[in-house]
Each structure stands twice: as structure tokens, then as C-alpha cells.
């Protein structure tokens, strides 16, 4: 039995079927048949979008005073799912900004379509700057479940920033995790699931406020977890939640 | 004095300034050398933590003196802006450490983006009658009112008191340091006031370092073990005595007699020590050791300037009394 899932795609030997390889343990899931991979427009975005991205990242870091801590985890361009507690509007931007530039350009925050599709500026920011994956919360189609959309959106290149609690919590208590994270790693078990703990950002910009107060916040990235073979959903989700909670104490 | 002479005097520092900066550089160089020797002798049984502390303090000194000297050369306005930024940053550390409720958010926004900049604008404009009351009077009234309008009465007095304490310590008190640069009479060469500010920073920092060393050498009787495990009566008295001696030796750099300089130094050093003690109490209450370790990667600005914050208004008014320029009317 493997002590851990293979971490990189290159480590992950799909073809080998001689019984010793882990290809027997992990069945490579077929990509969703209903959704073909998208052409990658984001990689060829213009200089203005790139400039906006670095200016926004700098501003976000300045306002939130965010310092990034990496505990048993290093910034890497491999495919990852960053999952974090959700306390403020700024969360996704702050995590995105805390990543080093080359990692940042590969990380796609998952966000609500009804908010980010509202006007041209938000659309531009979502598509050209953050490269956000917009999920329409109002009409979830049968063949386009959010998990399928996420899988298509990351292809074999991008990472995701998700908030598995579903909605924002008050910032004190970490809510129960929704099951998306489980289905995501069931289909792509080689993805590194990186727990992220966000501290104090809810005081920088609490719910319902527009103007931020420049306090100091802290973003902690923890050691990746993986879905174990045949691990029950509830157990996995509890483990993922604990992984985020543990970072709070460190 | 004809205007042209005045202009030159404002740009070119006089001999006393050169002497002051020169002696500071010499002391700093000596301290750095001692630090290097200590580092080499680490295996000889010295506590590495103490050597590390010493290094940290010497580095802060270098930084502070370089920045101050640069600010003097560029001008008064730059010095005011510089202290404004330090205030902003330390207030950021203070409020981060202090639990606030969502209802305080709007008040905090005003604190950071209106009251703090306004205080330093008034200091820059030399409006003594306004900046001396802005925060204690109008800031106090505004913050309590703004928090009450937010509709959250829970622990109201406690919350407003915390915000006020942050503003008073980090902004109001500290702003009296750059205010030294506009001591009357108006139009006199800035050099004299600049040397006063330099003298002030030197005495407070020297008291800090002397207190630390005396405490390590002789410290036995703790002042208040619950508040600070490192502050002893021996260090406290030794620090004040050393700083008084230090200030007296430097009397020639300020427009005071040697006696006045000695009294001023003793007073300033005492206020500085009290500041360190007070901030210690606040930190203990919140269960942290340093403001710097509060958020990893940010140097604790407040840890370095706590004594300056407390000593600045004391020094300012003591100098005004000694120069017979007590504000009247």
C-alpha cells in the first residue's frame, strides 16, 4: 500500500499495468465526457491584464498586511487545490496574492457567477486578472455539476482556490465542509489538496463592509492531504476540516 | 539675520550637528565592533540569546540614526511624514492585537485614514493649538459617538477605550517627537530643533539598551513578574542613571545648561522605561511576547518604539518649560 498518493503528474504512471505500479491502485478516471477541455486564452492575456494582476496583488498584500507562512509545504507550480476557511470577501484575493507570481498565475479562485458577472469591470477582473472559475449558484445543471466544471477548468495545468464551507462564516467557527472537495479528489486523486488557514482577514473587511481597515493578517499553507483509497466521504471531509483547523494553532 | 543667511543655515548643518552625528557614528561603530567580538566568542560560554538581542538593538540604532539623519538633511516635512508612517504601522500592530467587534469597523476606518493622517498634517503645519487637542478631545468624542451609531452596545466602554489607547500611544504621543522640530520661536534655524529631536531619540534608546544590560548584569529584584519577567529595579535605576550621564555628556548639543540636560535626560529615561513597562502589560494581557511575533514576517515596530512613544510628550513639554516657552493664552 502506498504511504501517499503520487504527487506530480510525472510521478503518476498511467500506462504501466504490471501489477507493481500504483496504476492498479488508482484508476485514472475518464475526463468528463460531456465537457471538452477549453482553449487556454488566459495564458496569452495581454500586458495590461498582467500589470493589473501584479498591482492588485501588491495592493491586496499592502492592505491586508498578509504574511504567508508555509508549514511543511513549499510553493509549487504543480496542480493543487487550495482549500481554506471563508471569512471575508477578500479571502480569495488575499490567498491568490499570497502566492508567488509564477504560482499565482496558475491558481484559479472559484467564485460566484452572480457577483462577478454583474458588470464589465468585474467580468474583466474575473476572467483576465484572477482567471476565476465562475460557478452559477442558481442553475446547476445535471451534466455540468460544479465538480465537472472545476475539472474542466484546471485541465492538466491549473490549480484551484476553493472554500469548502459553502458560505462565509462569522470567522470564529469553521463550518462543516461541503462534499465538492471529496468528489474532486475522487476523480483526480493525484491533486495535492493544500489546507490554508486565513487569520484576521475578516477584521480587515467584515461581511457587508466596503472599506477595508489595514490590520495585519496571516495566511498559513499546510502540508498537502490526499484522498485515501476507499476513504469514506464523511471521514475525508472531517480530516480536511481538521487540517485547516490545525493550522490555526501553529 | 538677513534672509539669505537664514536659508543657508537651514540647509548646511552647523558644527555642533556634525559633532553630534560624528559621536553617534563613533558609538555605533564601537557597539557594532563589540557585537562582532561577542559573536566570535560565542563558544566561550556567552548566552547566544543575549548576543542576539544586543545585535538586534544595535541594528535598530543604526537604522534609526540613518533614517533620522537622512530626514534632517531632506527637511522637516519628510521627518514628519516618516513619523506619520511609523505611527500608522504601530497602530496597525496595536489594533491587530486588540480584539475589536465588527461594529468598530467604521470607527477604525476613520482612525486609520482620517484621524492619524490629520494629526500629522497639523504637526506639519505647526498648528500646535489644534494638534495638541485633536485626539484627546475630538478624537475621543468622535470615536465613542461613531461606535455607538454602529448599534452594537456589547462591551462598549472597553472597546472604545482600546481604540483610544491605541490612538493615544501610537499616534498622539509619538507625534510630539516630530513636533520638536517646530519649537518656537518661528523662523530660527531648524538645526537647533533637529539636534533636540536627535538628542531625544539617543537618550531614550540609550536608556533602553542600558536598562537591558544592567538588568542582565545585576538584575535580581523583579518589578512585577506578572507583567515582565525581564524588568528589574536594578536595570530600571541603572538605565536611568546611565541615560542621565549620557545626556549630560551630550549637553553641548542642545540649547540647555548641563544641569538642565541631566534633569531632562533623567525625566525622559524614566518616561521611556514606564512606556516599555506599560506596553509589556498590554502584551501580557493579550498573551503575546512581542508585537513582532504576532504576525510572522513583520518586524515589531511597536516593540522598538514603545519607550519613544511615552517619552516624547514628556520631553516636549519639559523642553518647553526649560526654554521658558510654555504655551500661554
For residue A187, is pLDDT > 50? yes
For residue A22, is pLDDT > 50? no
Averaged pLDDT score across all residues of chain A: 81
- Asked if A67 lies within 8 A of B296 by C-beta distance, the reply is yes
Which residues in chain B touch residue A67, judged by CB atoms under 8 angstroms apart? 295-298
Averaged pLDDT score across all residues of chain B: 85
Which residues in chain A touch residue B90, judged by CB atoms under 8 angstroms apart? none
Q: How far is B109 from chain A (nearest CA, A)?
A: 5
Query: Rounded to whole angstroms, how far apart are CA atoms B258 and B17?
Result: 17
Q: How far is A54 from chain B (nearest CA, A)?
A: 21
Residue of B nearest to A202 (CA): B102
Residue B303 sits at φ, ψ, to 5 deg, of -60, -35
The answer to whether B143 and B160 have CB atoms below 8 angstroms apart is yes
Mean pLDDT confidence for A131-142: 77
Lowest mean pLDDT among A4-8, A233-237, B108-112, B158-162: A4-8
In a domain, A4, yes or no: no
In a domain, A20, yes or no: no
Q: Is the pTM of this model over 0.90?
A: no
CA torsion sign for A17, A21, A27, A29 is negative
Q: Could you tell me which residues come within 8 angstroms of residue A233 by beta carbon, excluding any fewer than 6 positions away?
A: A179, A182
In a domain, A32, yes or no: no
For strand A218-221 and strand A192-199, is the pairing parallel, antiparallel, or unpaired? antiparallel
For residue A33, is pLDDT > 70? no
Which residues in chain A touch residue B95, judged by CB atoms under 8 angstroms apart? 213, 215
In a domain, A30, yes or no: no
Highest mean pLDDT among A168-177, B12-21, B22-31: B22-31
> Cα separations (Å) of A204 from A215, B125, B180, B185?
6, 31, 34, 44
Residue numbers of the domain that contains A145: 37-248
Instruction: Give residue A35's pLDDT.
Output: 54
Residue of B nearest to A69 (CA): B296
CATH value at residue A129: 3.40.1130.10
**pLDDT-derived band at B18, boundaries 50, 70, 90:** confident
- Tens of pLDDT, residue by residue over B188-231, are 677 788 889 989 998 998 898 888 888 888 888 999 888 888 88
Instruction: Give residue B293's pLDDT.
Output: 53
Cα angle B185, B191, B195 (rounded to 5 degrees) comes to: 105
In a domain, A183, yes or no: yes
- Tens of pLDDT, residue by residue over B138-179, are 999 999 999 999 988 999 999 999 999 999 999 999 999 999
Q: Which of B99, B108, B299 best tests the A interface by mutation, with the highest count of A CBs <10 A? A: B108
- Tens of pLDDT, residue by residue over A58-74, are 999 888 887 888 999 89
**Contact residues of B toward A, CB < 8 A:** 92-93, 95-96, 100, 102, 105-106, 108-109, 112, 294-298
* Burial grade of B272 (CB within 10 A; 0-12, 13-18, 19 or more): buried
> b/e string for B273-296 if b means 16 or more Cβ within 10 A?
bbbbbbbbebbeeeeeeebbebbe
Instruction: Give residue A36's pLDDT.
Output: 55
- Asked if B95 lies within 8 A of A207 by C-beta distance, the reply is no
Task: Answer whether A62 touches B (CB < 8 Å).
Answer: no
Question: Domains in chain A: how many in total?
Answer: 1
In a domain, A14, yes or no: no
Count how many pairs of residues, chain A against chain B, have C-beta atoms within 8 Å. 43
Torsion of CA B251, B252, B258, B261, to 10 degrees: -30
In a domain, A21, yes or no: no
- Report the side by side order of strands in the sheet with A67-70: A67-70, A218-221, A192-199, A80-84, A159-162, A107-112, A133-135
**pLDDT-derived band at B10, boundaries 50, 70, 90:** very low
Which residues in chain B touch residue A216, judged by CB atoms under 8 angstroms apart? 92-93, 96, 294-295, 298
Name the 3-class secondary structure at B152.
Answer: coil
**pLDDT-derived band at B15, boundaries 50, 70, 90:** confident
For chain A, the farthest-separated pair of C-alpha atoms sits apart, in whole angstroms, at 60
Neighbours of A76 (CB within 10 A): 17
Instruction: Give residue B149's pLDDT.
Output: 94
Task: Answer whether A67 touches B (CB < 8 Å).
Answer: yes
Task: Answer whether A245 touches B (CB < 8 Å).
Answer: no
In a domain, A17, yes or no: no
Amino acid at each position: 500500500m502506498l504511504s501517499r498518493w503520487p504527487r506530480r503528474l510525472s510521478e503518476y504512471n498511467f500506462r504501466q499495468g504490471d501489477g507493481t505500479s500504483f496504476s492498479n491502485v488508482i484508476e485514472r478516471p475518464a475526463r468528463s465526457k460531456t465537457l471538452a477541455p477549453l482553449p487556454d486564452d488566459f495564458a496569452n492575456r495581454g500586458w495590461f491584464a498582467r500589470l493589473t494582476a501584479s498591482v492588485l496583488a501588491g495592493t491586496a498584500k499592502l492592505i491586508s498586511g498578509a504574511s504567508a507562512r508555509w508549514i511543511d509545504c513549499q510553493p509549487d507550480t504543480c496542480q493543487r487545490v487550495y482549500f481554506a476557511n471563508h471569512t471575508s470577501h477578500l479571502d480569495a484575493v488575499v490567498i491568490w496574492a499570497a502566492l508567488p507570481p509564477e504560482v499565482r498565475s496558475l491558481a484559479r479562485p472559484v467564485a460566484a457567477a452572480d457577483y462577478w458577472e454583474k458588470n464589465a469591470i468585474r467580468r474583466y477582473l474575473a476572467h483576465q486578472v484572477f482567471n476565476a472559475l465562475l460557478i452559477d449558484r442558481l442553475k446547476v445543471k445535471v451534466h455540468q455539476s460544479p465538480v465537472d466544471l472545476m475539472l474542466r477548468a484546471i485541465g492538466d495545468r491549473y490549480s484551484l482556490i476553493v472554500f469548502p464551507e459553502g458560505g462565509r462564516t462569522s470567522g470564529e467557527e469553521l463550518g462543516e465542509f461541503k462534499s465538492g472537495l471529496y468528489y474532486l479528489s475522487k476523480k483526480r486523486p493525484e491533486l495535492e489538496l493544500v489546507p490554508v488557514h486565513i487569520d484576521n482577514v475578516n477584521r480587515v473587511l467584515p461581511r457587508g463592509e466596503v472599506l477595508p481597515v489595514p490590520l495585519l493578517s496571516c495566511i498559513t499553507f499546510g502540508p498537502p492531504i490526499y484522498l485515501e483509497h476507499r476513504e469514506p466521504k464523511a471521514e475525508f471531509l472531517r480530516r480536511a476540516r481538521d487540517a485547516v483547523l490545525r493550522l490555526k494553532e501553529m | 539675520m538677513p534672509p539669505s543667511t537664514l536659508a543657508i543655515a537651514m540647509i548646511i548643518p552647523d558644527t555642533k550637528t556634525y559633532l553630534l552625528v560624528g559621536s553617534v557614528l563613533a558609538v555605533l561603530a564601537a557597539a557594532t565592533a563589540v557585537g562582532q567580538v561577542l559573536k566570535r566568542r560565542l563558544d566561550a560560554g556567552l548566552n547566544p540569546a543575549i548576543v542576539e538581542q544586543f545585535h538586534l538593538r544595535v541594528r535598530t540604532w543604526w537604522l534609526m540614526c540613518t533614517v533620522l539623519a537622512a530626514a534632517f538633511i531632506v527637511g522637516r516635512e519628510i521627518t514628519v511624514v516618516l513619523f506619520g508612517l511609523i505611527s500608522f504601522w504601530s497602530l496597525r500592530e496595536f489594533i491587530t492585537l486588540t480584539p475589536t467587534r465588527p461594529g468598530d469597523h467604521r470607527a477604525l476606518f476613520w482612525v486609520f485614514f482620517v484621524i492619524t493622517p490629520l494629526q500629522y498634517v497639523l504637526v506639519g503645519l505647526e498648528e500646535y493649538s489644534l494638534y495638541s487637542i485633536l485626539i484627546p478631545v475630538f478624537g475621543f468624542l468622535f470615536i465613542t459617538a461613531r461606535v455607538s451609531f454602529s448599534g452594537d452596545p456589547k462591551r462598549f466602554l472597553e472597546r472604545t477605550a482600546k481604540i483610544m489607547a491605541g490612538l493615544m500611544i501610537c499616534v498622539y504621543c509619538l507625534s510630539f517627537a516630530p513636533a520638536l522640530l517646530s519649537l518656537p520661536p518661528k523662523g530660527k534655524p531648524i538645526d537647533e530643533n533637529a539636534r533636540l529631536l536627535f538628542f531625544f531619540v539617543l537618550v531614550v534608546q540609550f536608556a533602553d539598551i542600558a536598562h537591558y544590560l544592567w538588568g542582565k548584569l545585576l538584575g535580581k529584584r523583579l518589578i512585577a513578574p506578572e507583567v515582565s519577567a525581564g524588568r528589574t529595579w536594578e536595570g530600571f535605576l541603572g538605565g536611568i542613571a546611565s541615560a542621565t550621564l549620557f545626556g549630560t555628556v551630550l549637553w553641548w548639543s542642545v540649547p540647555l545648561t548641563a544641569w538642565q540636560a541631566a534633569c531632562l535626560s533623567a525625566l525622559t529615561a524614566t518616561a521611556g522605561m514606564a512606556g516599555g513597562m506599560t506596553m509589556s502589560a498590554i502584551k501580557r494581557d493579550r498573551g503575546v511576547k512581542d508585537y513582532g511575533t504576532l504576525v510572522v514576517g513583520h518586524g515589531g515596530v511597536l516593540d522598538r518604539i514603545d519607550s519613544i512613544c511615552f517619552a516624547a510628550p514628556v520631553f516636549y513639554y519639559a523642553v518647553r518649560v526649560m526654554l521658558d516657552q510654555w504655551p500661554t493664552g
